Amino acid sequence: MESTSRLRVGTLVPLAKDKAVSSNGSVSSIPIFEGSNVVGRHHLVAVDKRISRKHLSLHASADGSIEVVVEGPNPIIVRSDGQRRKVCAQEKAKITKNDVLELIPGDYFVKYMGMEGENKISVPVESSELKKGKRHIEEDCAAVKRNRQIIEDEALARTLQESFVEETVNVADMACGQTLSLLNNAGPSQRSNERVHSAGPLTFRLMRVQGLPSWANASTVTVQDVIQGEVLLAVLSDYMVDIDWLLTACPSLRKVPHVLVIHGEDGASLELLKKMKPANWVLHKPPLPISFGTHHSKAMLLVYPHGIRVVVHTANMIHVDWNNKSQGLWMQDFPWKDTKDINKKVPFENDLVEYLGALKWPEFRVNLPVAGDVSINAAFFRKFDYSSSMVRLIGSVPGYHRGNNIKKWGHMKLRTVLEECLFEKQFCKSPLIYQFSSLGSLDEKWMNEFAYSLSAGKSDDGTPLGIGKPLIVWPTVEDVRCSIEGYAAGSCIPSPQKNVEKDFLRKYWTNRAMPHIKTFTRYNGQNIAWFLLTSSNLSKAAWGALQKNNTQLMIRSYEDKIAPGEKIRTKLVTPCWKGDEEKERSTEIVRLPVPYQLPPQPYGPEDVPWSWDRRYTKKDVYGSVWPR
């Protein structure tokens, strides 16, 4: 594909309020290109709803001058030649080199730094590599990139250990309790295995959080542990994607010949994604037929010479999600099918292929050393042997699902899968846990509908388990204030007060966890009946809502979830389980690193559930208030 280029004419560099160049503010450095540019909320390190998604439109001329139009409802301040001028909604202003903008009056200071003559950079739209012809241009761009990284890190967690040394872990032996061969011939990947303890066939791991002590990061994984070896084809599915960070965190992705990115970006974020992607990467945003829906699924399919790695996780492809948040992933490797088994199918395979087919990406052809010339479509992923899987993939796909399709997606699919499972008698009427990072606008009718689905299943004597009492694990204001990121963590728990403080929800609240991870489970003491890892928050849009006398399921968004399969041959427990393993010799015991205490503690009389649109004046661990 022939690439086009845009001329970079300058940068909006963040300043402290005293107008000194700042490396710890809450807005990123913003490159400015000739022609149209947009400045908005996605340029902030911590979300501030005063900044609109499309806050400013900037039209830059080749001479470096810029016409600014205020698109959002809030005014800005332009400082030029010693004058301070307020520019209101839909008004225009001209800025030139060294002028200062206050994106909100008194806050978010940025200075326009022009690039004169030979310093201007032509950026290929279809390539992530900026073509720089001179050494001082390379140094300038590297400095901008370093500055942006420092801004993100320091603003969100200024006391994280600066010299934190990344340990690594070889996760190639995580599937089915046996050593896998996918990476055997995949190049140098000899990594320390000291932190990995067998997680059994469920292959569930938490992700590493920077700045925590080593014991708290035991058995965790990083993005480098997941994407490694000789990848022939990568399908990366997510909501938000920062290609600049991703290629820095996983430089091996530059060598992958075929990459498909399925995303949920739009507006200026999508334009930046198109601008920064390598030329051999294909972008696709699935169709959203119902308003207010998103593509929110988070998964990876990595094809190797010896098979495929399937990953379902909870993190956006951005720095803070993989470094500063509680996240989780399920991962398993599967070999290519033998020719004699090519028509053999298992439930997980059907789940996966059916969901991939609903994404409707444009089919493309590639030449793989192990498979020849093939079309990359949903059916391609039937070429792998998933018979060792002991989980099911529960997808959510937007639409109005009727007839047999009502049981194919969302909470109705989970209900159907659980109805096929047998559990120990101890889980009859045992409680349910809902843990997530965003709360939709709910009502008691839907909460009962949802609880009925999650309570499905029978005990080993054939008795229905019965309805479990739901408990919601949700952070209090104090949990957020005292977290490793302080109030900045609240920007990724985006639920308004009107959703959180409904009277009927009070009976459900328990604490503590600092999400972005989303998990749902049924438990008794330290014993777990089943455990579900998902991209889905607690909302009708993500799980679906029954309509028309329960004959139709309406779903707005794409989501993915990993749930137990029909044949559960393991005993699931928390790390705090103190049972007698000698008496359990006939059953494999798997200790799942559940990211919260069981049983969860109910809110106390002084506890207030976090909502991100309230004002909090008690300072956090960094001396900040909310909104920041």
The answer, yes or no, to whether residue 383 has pLDDT greater than 70, is: yes
Is 506 strand, coil or helix?
A: helix
* Residue 312 confidence (pLDDT): 97
- Tokens 């908005």 correspond to 40
The mean pLDDT of 345-373, rounded to a whole number, is: 95
What is the set of domains in the chain, with CATH numbers? 5-156 (2.60.200.20), 200-383 (3.30.870.10), 419-542+572-602 (3.30.870.10)
* Residue 18 confidence (pLDDT): 54
| The Cα angle at residue 215 between residues 210 and 217, in degrees rounded to 5 | 40
Q: Take residue 426 and report the two structure tokens written for it.
A: 């101890």
* Residue 596 confidence (pLDDT): 86
Q: Which residues belong to the active site?
A: 296, 516
Average pLDDT across the chain, whole number: 82
Q: What is the band of 578 on the pLDDT scale with cuts at 50, 70, 90?
A: confident
Q: What is the band of 573 on the pLDDT scale with cuts at 50, 70, 90?
A: confident
Note the pLDDT tens digit of each residue in 85-115.
999 888 999 999 999 999 998 888 999 988 7
Instruction: Provide the 10 A C-beta neighbour count for residue 119.
Output: 14
Give the residue, 588 or 140, on which the prediction is more confident. 588
Q: Take residue 93 and report the two structure tokens written for it.
A: 């202003």
Q: Take residue 115 and report the two structure tokens written for it.
A: 């690039």
Q: What is the band of 340 on the pLDDT scale with cuts at 50, 70, 90?
A: confident
The answer, yes or no, to whether residue 185 has pLDDT greater than 90, is: no
What distance in Å separates the CA atoms of residue 572 and residue 519, rounded to the nearest whole number?
Answer: 15
The answer, yes or no, to whether residue 186 has pLDDT greater than 60, is: no
Give the residue, 337 or 185, on which the prediction is more confident. 337
Which of 106-120, 128-142, 474-488, 570-584 shows the lowest mean pLDDT across its residues? 128-142
The mean pLDDT of 439-447, rounded to a whole number, is: 94
Q: Where are the beta strands (DSSP E) in 192-326?
A: 204-206, 233-237, 258-262, 281-284, 299-304, 307-313
The answer, yes or no, to whether residue 245 has pLDDT greater than 80, is: yes
Extract the annotated binding site for substrate: 298, 518
Note the pLDDT tens digit of each residue in 395-436.
999 999 999 999 999 999 999 999 999 999 999 999 999 999
In Å, what is the CA distance from 136 to each residue of 8, 64, 112, 120, 421?
15, 19, 19, 11, 64
- Closest C-alpha among 209, 230, 211, 231 to residue 220: 209
* Residue 415 confidence (pLDDT): 97
CB 477 within 8 A of CB 608: yes
Listed ranges 24-38, 377-391, 486-500, 503-517; the one with the highest mean pLDDT = 377-391
The answer, yes or no, to whether residue 169 has pLDDT greater than 60, is: no
DSSP states along 351-394: HHHHHHHHH-PPPEEEEETTTEEEEESGGGGGGB--TT--EEEE
* Residue 164 confidence (pLDDT): 28
* Residue 584 confidence (pLDDT): 63
What region does 284 belong to: left with phi over 0, alpha with psi -120 to 50, or beta? beta
The answer, yes or no, to whether residue 190 has pLDDT greater than 50, is: no
Is residue 398 within a helix (H) or strand (E), and if so which, with residue range? none
Extract the annotated binding site: 298, 518
Listed ranges 51-55, 246-250, 560-564; the one with the highest mean pLDDT = 246-250
CB 441 within 8 A of CB 498: yes
DSSP states along 284-308: E-----STT--B---EEEEEETTEE
* Residue 152 confidence (pLDDT): 40
Q: Take residue 188 and report the two structure tokens written for it.
A: 């140098």
- Residues found in the chain: 628
What distance in Å separates the CA atoms of residue 212 and residue 222, rounded to the nearest whole number?
Answer: 14
* Residue 569 confidence (pLDDT): 60
pTM: 0.70
Listed ranges 40-49, 110-119, 489-498; the one with the highest mean pLDDT = 489-498
List all residues 6 or more positions away from 17 whose beta carbon is below 8 Å from its beta carbon: 106, 107, 109
The answer, yes or no, to whether residue 310 has pLDDT greater than 50, is: yes
- Residues facing residue 236 across a β-bridge: 261, 300
Q: Take residue 365 and report the two structure tokens written for it.
A: 């052809």
Listed ranges 52-61, 152-161, 449-458, 494-503; the one with the highest mean pLDDT = 449-458
What distance in Å separates the CA atoms of residue 212 and residue 14, rounded to the nearest whole number?
Answer: 29
The mean pLDDT of 483-507, rounded to a whole number, is: 88
% of the chain beyond a pLDDT of 70? 81
The answer, yes or no, to whether residue 594 has pLDDT greater than 60, is: yes
